[in-house]
Amino acid sequence: HADNGIFNSQKFTRSVREAQQTISYCGVGAHQQNGVAEHRIRVLTEMARTQLLHAMNNNRKAISPHLWPYALRHACYLFNLFPREGQTRSPIEIFSDSKIAPNLKQAHPFGCPVYVLEAPLQTQGGQLPRWEPRSRVGIYLGQSPQHAASVGLILNQQTGLVSPQFHCIY
């Protein structure tokens, strides 16, 4: 079930028929025709908005609405990690058909402060002068989608860049 945009092209409809599938079209502006998907989008949007506003309230200088995609990704991660009310299995357990216990040590609040070990100390044998800071304060923007579950995406407040970091204290 799709809209009339690119899904109405001859090439796309031909590939649908060749895959022995069917397609139907909704009316213009009729978003209510897919209630399940629309409800999930609304829930995730509200979760992300709440997280972002809470983080902005705690750190107005560093958090802005430009971090919206990170808040949405983190909301989706949390939504899939924990069971819904009245259920015993989380969405990720249902999808994978396996028992996956959520690791609460890796479920940090969006926008929380993070101490990140300075780069020279992250390698074996690295050193800094005695009176130099050993860490910097960053902001947690969620779990890295391409790394291990223990790697977070951290916003560097000095440069404004986001990078995956392992050596962190939340």
pLDDT at 51 over 90: yes
Average of per-residue pLDDT across 56-70: 90
Over residues 130-155, the mean pLDDT reads 84
Query: Using CB atoms within 10 A of its CB, is residue 39 exposed (0-12), middle (13-18) or buried (19+)?
Result: exposed
Of 57-61, 67-71, 111-115, 134-138, the least confident: 134-138
Q: What is the pLDDT of residue 150?
A: 82
Can you give the pTM of this predicted structure? 0.72
Q: Distance (Å, rounded) from C-alpha 167 to C-alpha 129?
A: 19
Dist CA 137 CA 9 (whole Å) = 51
What's the Rg (C-alpha) of the chain?
21
